[in-house]
Amino acid sequence: MKVLIVLNTTWNLVNFRSGLIRALIEQERDVVGVAPADAYVADLELLSCRHVAISMDNQGTNPVRDLRLFLDFLGLLRRERPDVLLAYTVKPNIYASLAAHLLGIPVINNIAGLGAVFIRSSLLTRLVKGLYAIALSRSSTVFFQNEEDREQFVKSALVRKGITDVLPGSGIDLDKFAYRPVGNGTGRPFRFLLVARMLWDKGVGEFVEAARLIKRSYPDVECCLLGFLDVENPAAISRAAVDAWVAEGVVHYLGVSNAVEKEIAEAHCVVLPSYYREGTPRSLLEAAAIGRPIITTDTTGCRNVVDEGRNGYLCKVKDGDDLAQAMIRMIEVGAEVRLEMGAYGRMKMEREYDERIVIGKYLHAVDAAVKDGARRRSSHVG
């Protein structure tokens, strides 16, 4: 059996889909990863997953380029002839799915959050919704990462509820993100950490605003940013803006890391004040698994990870003042309570977000899709 996995970056394949790739290979599946080439191709190939590069303008809306992408997917699928296609992120979910349906290849989609397009109402939003409705109409399974996104797609007639299922995010590798109780902080400043691409939609601006407020009463507190700068996105924050915040002394920018678990372990609390239409934010799952209390916005995708007061706090969307109050509360609650929050968060991850839950659902969906595809081909030939 050949399984084709399509994503918008190879980094995404390596960081978020490695467990699934390993599980498929252990079942003696031939796994091919399709994504634009980047610095993570070698890491993907170390998993015994063959990489096929494809050019993809992830944030662009040029119809000529999107038609070219569709034709590229069509040619690639004709050459590879996989038994099933696993599609993630917007353009693979739309254009790779359309190409696969034309060729009679079963498709399993993953809608991992609705993204910036669904935050705003526009012609582009209506166009994307229309393309989703066509692309998902013949899929075998469509996974969502929270119930609210599924219900929105079903109510908008973008997908039939009978082919949908909800995953606990992308799951979390509980061995890689092992529990590491936070110390009492003696001898080092209290550290907040935001892990995300540097986008305004991720609430980075609100985090900086909150940091300014906190430093009036707690000047030694560290507010740190970790994640990609210079990303191709209309909501991208410029390097100049980040440099100015660092020069002001309001935040520390830690760059990017291939060992994010080590950076999380150095923090006392992880913060994500996102108003992006998240599926289930990976950084919050990683933080909770390691045993860090979390603060995030009371919005789709984010709120599911927090049991208010048990493993963290929720704050209002686009409200730096409210975020600052939640962060101050986290400082003042004390080390013992933060330790209890971290332990509760770890148990929540073990109970609800274990990567093995996601992998199990995928393996079942793959087998069902391949059997259904074979049955349809047999019926067509007959």
H or E element that contains 110: strand 107-111
Distance CA 158, CA 136 (A): 7
CATH of domain 191-352: 3.40.50.2000
What class has domain 2-169+355-381? alpha beta
Distance CA 283, CA 261 (A): 10
Distance CA 117, CA 108 (A): 22
pTM above 0.95, yes or no: no
Q: What tokens does 381 get? A: 């030939």
Domain ranges of the chain: 2-169+355-381, 191-352
Look at residue 371 and give its three-state secondary structure.
helix
DSSP codes of every residue in 60-74: ---HHHHHHHHHHHH
Render each residue's pLDDT in the chain as its tens digit; 382 residues. 999 999 999 999 999 999 999 999 999 999 999 999 999 999 999 999 999 999 998 776 778 899 999 999 999 999 999 999 999 999 999 999 999 999 999 999 999 866 655 655 667 778 888 999 999 999 999 999 989 899 989 999 999 999 999 999 889 999 999 999 987 555 689 999 999 999 999 999 999 999 999 999 999 999 999 999 987 788 899 999 999 999 999 999 999 998 999 999 999 999 999 987 778 999 999 999 999 999 999 998 899 999 999 999 999 999 999 999 999 999 999 999 999 999 999 999 999 999 999 999 999 999 999 988 777 766 655 4
